[in-house]
Structure formats: C-alpha cells, structure tokens
Structure 1
Amino acid sequence: MNFLITGGTGFIGSALCAHLCEQGHNIVVKTRRPELLGTNMTSVRNLSEISADINFDVVINLAGEPIADKKWSAIQKAQIVDSRIETTEEIITYFKKTPKNQRCLSVVLLLGITALVLVIN
C-alpha cells in the first residue's frame, strides 16, 4: 500500500514508519527533518513536491507542534492546535488540486480533555 504520513519523524510517526517499512509498504513522509528518515522512505518538506502519479491508499496526519517539549501555556496550547489545523488544511488543499480518488480524511486532535474531530468528505 502507498502511505502519506505527515509527522513521520516524531515520537509516534517514527515507530509507525519503521513498522510499515518492515511490512513492505511504500511511504512518503512530509517532515521538517528529512535527515531522520530511513533510506527506504521518500521525504518531502511540502506536499507540492509529491509526484502527480502517486496515489495514496492511506493518509495519516501526525504532524504538529510537539506536546511534551514545553509548558502548556495559553500561547503553547494555541501553537499546538494551530500547527495541527494548518497541516490538515495543507492536506485538504493538496488533494483538492490533484486528480486523485481519496474520499475521506479524518483527523483527531486531543488536548487534555478537549477533543477536536474533523471529518472531511
């Protein structure tokens, strides 16, 4: 299967990417830190770098401001939420501009006891 994973070099994403590679899947990772990726994955900094002929079977959005690096001030909470919304919007924009057959993107964001769930069809 072909996977698009954002945040594939983070805590969860790195383990997920390693597991999927072991299973023989093709992975494109959108990351700010491509030097952290294994050699059998493709890295991009922007979704616009992805070849138009790639169709993804699965999109997993894990990108965003790290949650454990800093104290959760009001400003930090806003950065955490904004970083996830911005990445989700980038994914939506990418798929609107490409002639692909993806039908659904689901994103779940948990902050403390507050959950923001976006389902875009």
Structure 2
Amino acid sequence: VENRAKIFSPFAALRGYEEEISEEGWKKTRVSKKELSEEDIDRLSGLLRRIRSGMTVTVRYFQEDTVHPASPPLGIFCELTGRVERIDPVFQTLHLSDGTVRTDIRFEDLDDIDIL
C-alpha cells in the first residue's frame, strides 16, 4: 500500500495550484460597489453620530480588491462585529476591533450598521 501511494505523490508537486484555484474563486465572487441613496446615506450618518467608543456594532462594508484593480472598483461585501475603538470624523474612518485584529473602515465603504 505504501509503494502504491508513492505513485500519486508527483501530483502534490503542483505548487501554487490550490492558491491559483482559490484566487480564481475570489475573482468570480467580486461585485461592483453599489451607490447608496440619499436616504441610506442620511440613515448611516445618523447611526454614526450615535456610536461611541466601546460600543459593540456589526457593520457591513465593501472591501475593494486591490490586487486586481478594476474600474469601477470590484470587491466583496464583508460583515464584521466588533468593539468601536474610535470614530475619526476628519479622515472619515471607523476603527473596530474584534479582540485580535483592528480594522479601519472608511465611511464611504459602509453599507449598513447594526448597533448591538
């Protein structure tokens, strides 16, 4: 049985094959960034004014694919639940931490906010 297994070992030598397959999957799941309506922008602005440091929120935001840039921007929508570390009105960013990783999200990339 051991000798038979050695016959198939050359197929494992295709280095980078799994990474290439997963990258192709990533490219197929990319979508265009959607434009928010004025009502949605006003609603998000109101929610951002209510958020304070230390609060727990769930945000849905657009993450642009910077490895394969396109015009208009393509990427995926991500959802993240974390503690608000800071809201920066000057640079218009929301800083969230899930306990291990800090994520900085631009206001223009926000799609939805849920205050927990």
Q: Common fold, TM-score beyond 0.5?
A: no
Q: In terms of Rg, which structure is larger?
A: 2
Q: Does 1 or 2 have the higher relative contact order (CA < 8 Å, sep 6+)? A: 2
TM-score class, shorter:
under 0.3
Q: TM-score, normalised by structure 1?
A: 0.22
